[in-house]
Structure 1
Amino acid sequence: MDRLIYTALSGASQTLYEQQISANNLANVNTNGFRADMAMATNDKVKGGGFDTRYMAQEGASGVNDSTGVAEKTERPLDVAIQGSGYIAVQDKNGNEVYTRNGNIQQDDQGQLTIDGNLVLGDNGPIILPPNAIASFGSDGTLSVTPDDGDVTATMDIDRLKLVDIPVANLAKNPEGMLVTADG
């Protein structure tokens, strides 16, 4: 009889874990670029003498929901939205390349483009805007700058957003909520 309690507790523990995942998903429903977590459970045989008649609930490989939300039009020239599949590559505080679909790009006081404090990567590394420039993104992710005097003849392309297309099965979330390749 006392062995049965372990089986019941493993199921209850898994249910609590799934409730935590659901609560986190609901709390972030309005967060730009948020990807919902998906909880998975498996059953494992309990090894021991006699027949394998007992199973314990175990946390399985979790996944990420890749469905997209509704894009909202803003009047900010640095905001971007990815149409279709793909992710924006950013560099986290540890120097690792991580991925997001959050297109709310900010410019810090050194001219670096950031998303949630992570450096936005272009084809040539982190993107840094020249001082006193008006920036805008093209539909292909090309970043163009115009001098602040408005002389459009002086407009030049300085970089292009690093966009990656990784199958969702190969992605996982890190503790900061950013997407990383499942192998690290």
Structure 2
Amino acid sequence: MEKLINQFELGLFFWQVLIFVGLIFLLKKFAWKPILDAVNDREQGIKNALESADNARKEMLNLQADNQRILQEARAERDALLKDAREMKEKMIADAKTEAEAQGQKLIEQAKAAIESEKNGALAELKLQVSTLSLQIAEKLLKDELSNKEAQVKLVEKMLGDAKLN
């Protein structure tokens, strides 16, 4: 410290004081004002954010109350819809059962009619085949009987003998 006091120069001290004052003046003009403005703006922003948070909290409480009310209404409406749906389901099941029974009876009647129709058709077909077979057998027998002359003469005599004149 003594060394500093012994080397003290007034001119150098004057210029250092002058530069220091100039630096303070420049800092005040160009740095302090923007820094203070930024600090004030930040302080105002924090106040606004706190007010907004408080308003949001109040609004959140109101929304929670509204949500609870809406939830209760939705539950009541859901219960009513479920009750209506159950009733409608039971009615639809009963209607479907009745309709199914009617359709079943109708199908049974149609099946009986179809069976009867098929039976009659099969009997008619069978009669036709039996008559066709009978004619074919008779034709073959007559061809065999009438193929030789002797058999024809015997057949005619036999028929004449069977036939009696009145």
Structure exhibiting the larger radius of gyration computed from Cα positions: 2
The answer, yes or no, to whether TM exceeds 0.5 is no
Higher strand share: 1
Return the structure number with greater helix share: 2
TM-score (norm 2): 0.24
